Structure 1
Amino acid sequence: MTFRAHADGQMTLNGHTVRCALGKAGVIAAIDKREGDNRSPLGAWPIRRVLYRPDAYPNGPTTALPAAPIARHDGWCDALGDGAYNRPVTLPYPASAERMWRDDEIYDLVLVLGHNDDPPVDGLGSAIFLHLARDDYPGTEGCVALARADVEALLAEARPGDAVEIVAD
């Protein structure tokens, strides 16, 4: 199954439309995606796995997808030229890395999307996730964001091999 996120901020889920947030600067062709451009890459991205905060989900989320808890020392490398670019790392890390254990709750549930990961190409975008949206749905740094209930509903429906597609229409 493919879950479609539209550039107009809508996603179809379980037969109805829900609100989503995409990149602050809009969407862009995947081939033109660059680190730090605040754009979500167009295309269909396989859901690789789910990461979750164990204090928010003590029994893990309800899903058929592979899932693992986030630890306080988990990060995701976004440093150009680093061998771990667009890969999970342990913090502290000697190069730039995003902290996965956040205080703002948007990473309580994270679907790791298969963008620029097989293998990662330096500078073409890292950490493209589907995660929880902030209350007012501001733009993301290139991810897809949904309300908590909508992420939980997507996880309950998703199966291995499913994807999130970001489309311009």
Structure 2
Amino acid sequence: MPHVLPEIYVRRVGMDARRAYLFAGSLRFPCVLGRAGRSWSKREGDGATPIGSMPVRRLWWRADKVKRPRTSLPMRPISEHDLWCDAPADRNYNRHIRSPYQASHEKMRRADDMYDLVLELGWNERPCIKGRGSAIFLHVARPGFRPTEGCVALRRTDLEKLLPWIGPETRVVVE
């Protein structure tokens, strides 16, 4: 396993605010950001990727679709009951929850391939501020490399290459 990197950087390049590159040591991968680009003042539903330094908490993966990834991160397979609360008024806002759940949430087990590999980023967590944004992940890009709702997304093959370089001490720095 390669040496784990302390930081990986996401830097916008060019005129399109939704496109960037992820730099991890000598590796460089194109990535896509939120539909509203980046923001210093992230708000729930604004479509922006938050600017800042975020720890990588764990890797979620679809064990029914993807072989166990190589990484030193804590890992958790995604089940049909795994959700992420995105309701600012709910007591579990910006947290993993399990179904059934009444408040607004995002399903972690998606019909598309975007969450086949998902890095949970430590955004808006300690303390969690209601409405400051939830479910900020680094995940597989949509077909056509279309923008996210506020996450960072890479091609699946690039994310697979990156995983061995990421550990519990790694931070994702969006500039």
What's the TM-score bracket when you normalise by the shorter of the two chains? over 0.9
Q: Aligned to 2:10, what secondary structure does the other structure show?
A: strand
- Paired amino acid for 1:68: R
Q: Of residues 4, 8, 29 in structure 2, which corresponds to 1:3?
A: 8
What is the TM-score with the length of structure 2 in the denominator?
0.90
User: CA contact under 8 A between 2:8 and 2:25: conserved in structure 1?
Assistant: no
Q: Aligned to 1:136, what secondary structure does the other structure show?
A: helix
Q: Of residues 160, 163, 167 in structure 1, which corresponds to 2:171?
A: 163
Q: Where do 5+ consecutive residues of structure 2 fail to align?
A: 1-5, 14-19
* CA deviation map 1:53-83 (0-9, x unaligned): 111224x211001001010111000002100
What is the TM-score with the length of structure 1 in the denominator?
0.93
**Residue in 1 aligned with 2:42?**
33
Percent identity reads: 45
Q: What is the Cα deviation at residue 85 of structure 1?
A: 0.1
Q: Where do 5+ consecutive residues of structure 1 fail to align?
A: none
User: CA contact under 8 A between 1:7 and 1:26: conserved in structure 2?
Assistant: no
Cα distance in 1, alignment partners of residues 28 and 168 from structure 2: 23
Alignment length, in residue pairs? 164
- Higher mean alpha-carbon deviation, 46-55 vs 155-164, is at 155-164
**Residue in 1 aligned with 2:55?**
46
Aligned-residue Cα RMSD (Å) equals 1.1
Q: What is the Cα deviation at residue 14 of structure 1?
A: 4.7
- 4+ residue segments displaced more than 3 Å: none
Cα distance in 2, alignment partners of residues 163 and 152 from structure 1: 17
